[in-house]
């Protein structure tokens, strides 16, 4: 019997062992806690994958970790590499990851090159040298395999039984969050296609305003970037922009598509579209984040001085996103061919926009609009002909903003650069870039100022 044994307890050796086990358990729980905390708020699939890969690599003290997700429809495994910029895909029957996805076995391979399932070609291509591999199936709550963890090159020694257990626990947490993220992205895709379809039904009703909703969403996003609107609000703005005129579905076609000026009654009927937009969109179930879409969309004809419709809201009562829509909407109406006129001269358009700053429009939003880069402005204006825009011209115009152009229009070009910028801008604005055989667009005339932008 050893000296240090106590009658009624553990000896020193046992205590040291127990302490070590507790320490390891504590370390394991800390790792799991940190991983749970770090991944629980991320719903973007790409980012989530990268976070999980990094966390696992650190937790297992290994050089690399890849999470492959199973795409059962295409029978492929896929992942993100190079900071999420590149996607890799391969048949789900190939390599170690493929084997694990198929069999559900855990593979702890001490010498990768000695295992026939290991595909040495990848190492040959990348110059990487794989020593050992721990590959682990990732299962959802139903026990179905949804992906595979592949961890490479333990820093010291080989992957242990403890590493497998730790990866088992991480896998359960990661699987839940990855499924949530996939579900969220699926829902977003469904909403996107639904909103896109609704927007195109409005375009289909009136071919002359075709593309209006899409362009509004693009101009609005440029403005949103200028005022640093948070990403979530930019998404809300996008949906509201695409749907802002949806109420026009309830406007009589004879009035909506009328050539020539409108009577007061007809004008009032058209104005009703904003309220219709709200009433129709309110019937759609928007999830918590997008609840404000109907109100934002319906308030695009409100004016800062309270003289707008449908509610006559004043200043800050108008949601910021609606104030953005108001600017984009009128700009697009004035720069598009309409029933009652063609594209207006750019200086007249901007005069109208600036003269109405403070009364109709929010001054800050007009200022933000002036900061839009000219290449982006042209890309949106001429989005239907985007393939015909010369990349070289756009790269040149990227050095200038709308406010620079306005200065040149007002004071004249001060140097060759400004002169070139102005010429390039008008080349696209006045559609001089079309070849003569493209007669449909050649027919467009640029006409003088008009304050009639009611039908937008
Ligand atoms: Fe409208
Ligand atoms: Fe509109």
Rounded Cα distance, 69 and 145, in Å: 9
The protein residues having their C-beta less than 5 angstroms from ligand 1 (an ion) are 245
What is the model's pLDDT at position 339?
Answer: 54
* CA 307 / ligand 1 centre spacing (Å): 15
Answer yes or no: are the C-beta atoms of 230 and 274 closer than 8 Å.
Answer: no
- Taking the centre of ligand 2 as the mean of its atom positions, its distance from the CA of residue 361, in whole angstroms, is 15
Residue 273: nearest ligand to its CA?
A: 1
Instruction: Tell me the H-state helices in 9-83.
Output: 12-40, 45-59
Ligand with the closest atom to the CA of 338: 2
Ligand 1 midpoint to CA 237 (Å): 15
Whole-number pLDDT of residue 452: 46
pLDDT in tens, 307-349: 999 999 999 999 999 999 999 999 999 998 765 566 899 999 9
pLDDT at 6: 56
**C-alpha of residue 213 to centroid of ligand 1, in Å:** 10
State in Å: Cα 281 to ligand 1 middle.
Answer: 14
* Residue 115: half-sphere exposure toward Cβ, Cα within 13 Å: 18
- Residue appearing with tokens 């050893």: 2
The per-type count for the chain, helices as H runs and strands as E runs, is 19, 6
Taking only the tens place, the pLDDT of each residue in 396-432 is 999 999 999 999 999 998 899 999 999 999 999 998 8
Q: What is the pLDDT of residue 158?
A: 95
What is the whole-number distance in angstroms between the Cα of residue 311 and the centre of ligand 1? 14
Q: For 228, list phi and psi in degrees, rounded to 5.
A: 55, 45
CA 302 – ligand 2 centroid, Å: 12
- Rounded to the nearest angstrom, the distance between the alpha carbon of 373 and the centre of ligand 2 is 22
Q: What is the pLDDT of residue 214?
A: 93
User: How far is C-alpha 159 from the chain's CA centre?
Assistant: 39
Query: Structural domains in the chain?
Result: 12-182 (3.30.450.40), 206-442 (1.10.3210.10)
Which of helix, strand or coil describes residue 361?
strand
Residue 105's DSSP bridge partners are none
pLDDT of residue 359: 98
pLDDT of residue 453: 52
For the chain, list residues with pLDDT below 50.
Answer: 1, 436-452
Residue 114: per-residue pLDDT: 94
Please give the distance, rounded to the nearest whole angstrom, from the Cα atom of residue 398 to the centre of ligand 2: 27
CA of 208 to the centre of ligand 2 (A): 12
Q: What is the CA radius of gyration of the chain?
A: 31
Pick the ligand that lies closest to the CA of residue 309: 1
User: Rounded to 5 degrees, what angle do the CA atoms 369, 385, 298 make?
Assistant: 45
Taking the centre of ligand 1 as the mean of its atom positions, its distance from the CA of residue 274, in whole angstroms, is 6
């Amino acid at each position: 019997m050893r000296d240090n044994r106590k009658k009624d307890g553990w000896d020193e050796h046992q205590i040291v062992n127990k302490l070590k086990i507790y320490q390891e358990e504590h370390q394991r729980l800390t790792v799991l806690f940190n991983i749970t905390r770090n991944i629980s708020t991320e719903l973007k699939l790409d980012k989530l994958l990268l976070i999980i890969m990094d966390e696992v690599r650190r937790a297992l003290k290994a050089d690399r970790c890849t999470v492959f997700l199973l795409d059962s429809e295409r029978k492929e495994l896929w992942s993100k590499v190079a900071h999420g910029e590149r996607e890799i895909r391969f048949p789900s029957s190939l390599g170690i990851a493929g084997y694990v996805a198929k069999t559900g076995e855990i593979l702890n391979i001490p010498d990768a090159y000695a295992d026939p399932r290991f595909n040495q070609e990848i190492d040959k291509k990348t110059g990487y040298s794989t020593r050992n591999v721990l590959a682990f199936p990732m299962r959802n709550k139903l026990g179905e395999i949804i992906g595979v963890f592949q961890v490479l090159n333990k820093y010291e020694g080989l992957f242990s039984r403890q590493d497998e257990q730790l990866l088992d626990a991480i896998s359960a947490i990661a699987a839940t969050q990855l499924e949530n993220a996939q579900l969220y992205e699926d829902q977003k895709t469904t909403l996107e296609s639904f909103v896109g379809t609704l927007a195109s039904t409005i375009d289909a009703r009136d071919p002359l305003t075709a593309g209006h909703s899409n362009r509004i969403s693009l101009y609005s996003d440029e403005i949103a970037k200028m005022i640093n609107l948070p990403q979530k609000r930019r998404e809300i703005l996008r949906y509201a922009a695409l749907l802002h005129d949806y109420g026009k579905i309830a406007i009589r076609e004879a009035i909506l598509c009328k050539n020539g000026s409108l009577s007061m009654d007809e004008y009032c009927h058209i104005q009703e579209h904003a309220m219709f937009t709200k009433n129709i969109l309110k019937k759609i179930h928007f999830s918590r984040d997008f609840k404000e879409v109907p109100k934002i969309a319906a308030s695009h004809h409100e004016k800062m001085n309270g003289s707008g419709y449908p509610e006559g809201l004043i200043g800050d009562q108008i949601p910021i996103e609606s104030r953005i829509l108001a600017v984009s909407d009128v700009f697009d109406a004035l720069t598009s061919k309409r029933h009652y006129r063609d594209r207006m001269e750019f200086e007249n358009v901007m005069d109208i926009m600036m003269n109405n700053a403070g009364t109709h429009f929010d001054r800050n939003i007009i200022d933000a609009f002036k900061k839009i880069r000219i290449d982006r402005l042209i890309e949106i204006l001429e989005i239907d002909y985007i393939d015909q825009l010369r990349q070289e011209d756009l790269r040149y115009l990227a050095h200038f903003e709308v406010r620079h152009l306005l200065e040149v229009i007002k004071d004249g070009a001060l140097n060759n650069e400004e002169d070139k910028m102005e010429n390039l801008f008008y080349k696209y604005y006045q559609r001089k870039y079309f070849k003569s055989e493209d007669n449909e667009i050649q027919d467009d005339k640029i006409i003088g100022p008009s304050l009639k932008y009611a039908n937008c």
